[in-house]
A and B are shown apart, each in its own frame.
Chain A
């Protein structure tokens, strides 16, 4: 059952990216280009998503199990550290270079764009680099 809702959530997420114009990297860069001709659309995408999300997470937060009876596994991390800041900064630089973040990247692959495949392959390689570094770091004696 959770597979079906995962598929549905991913599908609706992708539809939202297409409808909102966020599957167009040039439009995303139009938002990030404050000094040029600025396209504020991305801010309204966030606003629309958060308007719906706030209510949903307010309900989810008060529950131990989901409407399907699965454990509620929302994040508990609250710490703000250098990993969070440096990682987010690296992500922001990559986002600004191409105008593509992980969700739209997968939509570009579905749309059959070779450049989308190139980006996703590099992104997965980057995630792989992270996994290798993490495993090596965890292997060191403390």
Chain B
């Protein structure tokens, strides 16, 4: 293993992570819910009248973040190397997988580990391992 010290951004990673933690904290302490993006989105496909509003509001906040950020400062670049066919396959897998596994990087990774949930720890270890293995196959085999 070679650590890429030029790409490694420890301070902004910790600061951004703390903001994500703060968002999860606000959502739990004020709204009583888990800030799990896949579940918030997935719930929109199973709509209940009293529950669409807060789901859409959370999604709107996420989508607005880069728009507001770009008013104040230049938005950091987002480099998407995958072509459309790979993006579609990846998106389908992420959609189906996060709903079967009942969570993603936010719900299991951030919130579940913060709650010291063994179930979320298993999910996080599995999706991280699958992610590591997939990149190993696509880049090194």
Q: Residues on A close to B: CB < 8 A?
A: 2-27, 29-30, 32-42, 44-57, 59-61, 65-68, 70-75, 77-80, 83-103, 105-111, 113, 115-116, 118-131
**Residue in B13, B28, B111 whose CB lies within 8 Å of A45:** B13
**Residue ranges of B at the interface with A (Cβ–Cβ < 8 Å):** 1-4, 7-10, 12-35, 37-38, 41-42, 45-46, 53-55, 57-70, 75-82, 84, 86-106, 108-119, 122-124, 126-136, 138-140
Decide yes or no: A110 and B65 within 8 Å by CB, A33-B135, A38-B4, A102-B94 being known contacts: yes
B62 touches A103 (CB 8 A): yes
Enumerate chain B residues within 8 angstroms of A93, measured Cβ to Cβ: 93, 97, 130-131, 133-134
- A44 partner, pick from B13, B78, B123, beta carbons under 8 A: B13
Tally A-B pairs: CB < 8 A: 504
Contact A20 B16 (CB under 8 A): yes
Complex CA distance for A81 and B71, rounded to whole angstroms:
45
Q: Using A74-B115, A108-B78 as known contacts, say yes or no to A2 and B31 having CB atoms under 8 A apart.
A: yes
Task: Tell which of B28, B66, B112, B123 touches A60, judged by Cβ atoms closer than 8 Å.
Answer: B28
Task: Contacts A2-B31, A46-B17, A100-B94 given; indicate if A13 touches B66 (C-beta within 8 A).
Answer: no
Q: Pick from A24, A30, A42, A92 the residue with the most CB of B within 10 Å.
A: A92
Which of B62, B112, B118 meets A13, CB within 8 Å? B62
